[in-house]
Structure 1
Amino acid sequence: MADILLREEDLKFASTMVHTLNTILLTSSELFQLRNQLKDLRTPVTSLTAPSSGDLEVTVDFLTEVDKLVQLIECPIFTYLRLQLLDVKNNPYLIKALYGLLMLLPQSSAFQLLSHRLQCVPNPELMQTADSTKPSTGFKRVTSSNIDYTELLQHFEKVQNKHLEARHQRAGRAEQLDRRVVL
């Protein structure tokens, strides 16, 4: 499905399909096992996209999607994700990505919700204990070394640039139509 959507010329359709498939993935009870497998693939990609998002054209549609993401993070399905915020030492990329999303949001209800959630993240210095030299028995951390994060970031930026070009083309066509109507 991903390969087909990569070749899709209609970016709005592709975006709608990705959004719909993500919603199904995140909410369908039949995909519980798949969600469990995916949650072990926490990667630095999230922290790479947050800083680069400053280069994006932030539109109302984009902010609406970020708002939906914040609402989704608060769903029961993502309890494990919120609990990972307690393990500050092993989840810096997750925390950095959430702060990146917070900085993108205007001060809205989603901003307040995410800001409040991040205020609950413990200070790593306060979390150290006398036996902090012992290996952590907390959350299991699974990494995958065969993921090319640079390639993923480049793909993300390429797709964002395609969306930007498509918006500019639509705006140009709308402007031409407006000129014709005036004449």
Structure 2
Amino acid sequence: MHTIEYVSVPFTTPFHEQLIEGSRINIHGKVHTHHHKDFAVELLSGPNIVLHVNFRFHHHEHTLVLNASSYGTWGPEIRVHNPLHDGDHFHLHIHVHHSHYNIEVNGTRVAEFPHRYPFFTVQALGIRGGVEVQKIHFEGFPFRNNWNSGSYDYGHGGYIGYGTESYVQPNWSESHEYNQHFGHHHHHH
């Protein structure tokens, strides 16, 4: 198991191994909408978002939205009940299955998200918006690599500025092995 504590949001952390069936990401936090009105937990792969879990707390829209994006293009939303409210402590659990992610909140399954892109392409976890995070722990990885080393090469410059106005999504080289799994990237000259 690998645990990260005292997380400041917005936050990203790289994965040092591929997600596999049975991998679990556990996030312990507290809703703190502040001026954000929502928060998101994302599984990132280069310029793509393999899984987007967005808890919304707008007065007209109290919902949980799941989606994925390839090179900035979003697919259809899956919208389910958002069980959380401002100030709630929560335990968010993302569990990788063969065909889908299981999303659990406080021990209750709230959604399943069928894989649109292969889960093994995920390179990082991102958390942004109106949330405080106390602890994140990762289970069900091989843990053959040292997750504290920080020396893993993702074929791109990383997620610097994630969750801020200045964020520029990373890009892979054209030859990156994961490119084939996402929509074709059209270069504008």
Short-chain TM bin: under 0.3
Find the structure with the greater CA-based Rg: 1
Greater percentage in strand? 2
Alignment TM-score, normalising by the size of structure 2: 0.26
Greater percentage in helix? 1
